[in-house]
Amino acid sequence: MKRVIVHSDINHCYAQLEEMRDPSLRNIPMAVGGSEEKRHGIILAKNDLAKTYGIKTGESLRQAKAKCPQLLIIHPDYDSYMYYTEKVKDIYRQYTDQVESFGLDEAWMDLTHSQLLFGDGIELAQKIQDEVYQKLGLTVSMGVSFNKVFAKLASDLFKHKGFALITEDNFQQMVWPLPVEELLMVGSRTKKKLNEMGIYTIGSLAAAHPELLSKRFGVMGLLLKRYAAGEDDTPVRHKDYQRPVKSVGCSKTVVKDIESIGQLQEVFRVLAETAAVRLKADHYKGSVVSIWLRDTDLKGKGLQMKLSQSTDLARDLLNAAMQLVYKLNLEEIKLRSVGIHVSGLVHKADVDQLDLFTPPDDRIRQRALEKTMYEIRKQYGYDSCRFASSKVDAEITDFDPLGLLHQVHPVGVLDGPVKV
């Protein structure tokens, strides 16, 4: 039985969901975006009227307003977006148990064996597309193909409830003339490197010499060549599949510039507490701590270190972060955003390694302290229990890191080492 893989994409998702909740928004230029005051000022999604003004996803609110002064900006409501996108996927799950999310607004479905119950897979995909519109009033673009890579590419070909079919017989005509950046996992940097090699289309990538690609990109180059040639047998994950946690990261764009080590430490304190809570919730400890700093020119720098033992304590993460800060030897500090990242995770590591220079019960007491602080915050709010030092410049540290952390961008499509 030939594979029938479908990729669905909710058209301009956030903006369309806002229009669904308030139909009057369809009659005015509207975009979902962040807050300029809190320096999250970019366009996340725009409706059709906003698009006619040349407004683009990812540009600053200031740029968008210059193009369309009457543009209405709506701040994102991620709880609502998660609720409704799950409703869409619930419809998919009525027809197959192989539904793999790719961010909030995208998903793959494998309808291969669903054909035994519901008939032709291509007709079934169209039926599902119509059902989403009839039940929720949302348009989704769908791409159907014999693998996941081409199904996603097909869903991008036509928007506004578009439907495209790429088969083993027509993919050379449909896919190979397209720009190489249309292929999954070819970002701007990879595109530039491929263009430097004279590779501008997906077809030229499929025909490229494997040794040249391997020399420039390693095994990833060979994987991209396979994708371009239609050689992808990656399965669509089961609806209950949970991606293994490989790292925990937290970042913050602050409302005003960080201009001192003291301010930086307090922001890192809040982020370290967030990371520690997430590690404890999933029963993980991490042994590698990384930090990154982005200045007001949006230039970034980072550093990482391996700890002497795995930890889930905020105190340890903060100490490591500040050690890395001092190693960077910053001549001046003027930072817009910072982040902390914990990797080298081990699951259910319940035993702490003893340290010759630390009292045996030190980590036990610290863990009990952090647990108590978390329980107080969970019941009365983050601000109910915090270090006094974080109130010295409350404008910078006045954010609640224990709220629901949403995944807005798609997760990585690869789970492990690249196999070619």
Mind telling me the catalytic residues? 106
Kindly state the tokens that stand for 80: 């609502």
CA nearest neighbour of 385 among 393, 376, 395 = 376
> Cα-Cα-Cα-Cα dihedral of 233, 234, 235, 241, to 10°?
170
Other Cβ atoms less than 10 A from the Cβ of 259: the count is 14
What kind and span of H or E run contains 164?
strand 163-165
Beta-ladder partners of 37: none
Beta-ladder partners of 109: 6, 99
Ranges assigned E (strand) in 190-267: 248-258
Query: At what angle are helices 219-228 and 210-217 packed, to 10 degrees?
Result: 130
Which amino acid type is present at position 42? I
Using an 8 Å Cβ cutoff, are 10 and 138 in contact?
A: yes
Instruction: Say how far apart CA 136 and CA 322 lie, in whole Å.
Output: 49
